Amino acid sequence: MAENLMDFTDQNFDSDVLESDMPTLVDFWAEWCAPCKLITPAVEAIAVEYAGKLRVGKLNIDENPSTPSKFGIRSIPTLILFKGGEAVEQVVGVRSKGDLKAAIDKSL
């Protein structure tokens, strides 16, 4: 995982995402998911580009099953932008970096 990407888990999700002062983008993914691997470079680029304005991290749904079910994740990749403890934007499926940035910019 890229150094600027955080690793979210069921254990740290509340403290690192929901209680964060900074908006946080969470990439729900799994090792076996080919589309998840396709979107990773865009997610990593966003983590670099938005450093200081946005926290970005990944949550492996196989290793952390309770958080995805809490947010109704039905397919991956799903990216959710959290702000002030609330999910404010959600993108499902492989999207371009431009599409992701547009969704983020709308809510930041």
Domain boundaries, the chain: 6-71+82-107
CATH code of domain 6-71+82-107 = 3.40.30.10
- Is 28 annotated as catalytic? no
Task: At 54, list the tokens.
Answer: 């946005």
CA distance 96 to 39: 8
Beta strands in the chain (DSSP E): 6-8, 24-29, 55-60, 78-83, 86-92
Phi, psi of 59 (to 5 degrees): -130, 120
**Degrees, nearest 5: CA angle 19-108-105:** 140
More confident residue, 16 or 4: 16
Whether residue 97 contacts residue 80, with contact meaning beta carbons closer than 8 Å, is answered with: no
pLDDT tens figures, 51-84 = 999 999 999 999 999 999 999 999 999 999 999 9
Q: Which of 9, 30, 33, 71 is catalytic?
A: 33
Q: Has 36 been annotated as catalytic?
A: yes
User: One of 6, 36, 76, 100 is an active-site residue; which one?
Assistant: 36
Query: pTM surpassing 0.75?
Result: yes
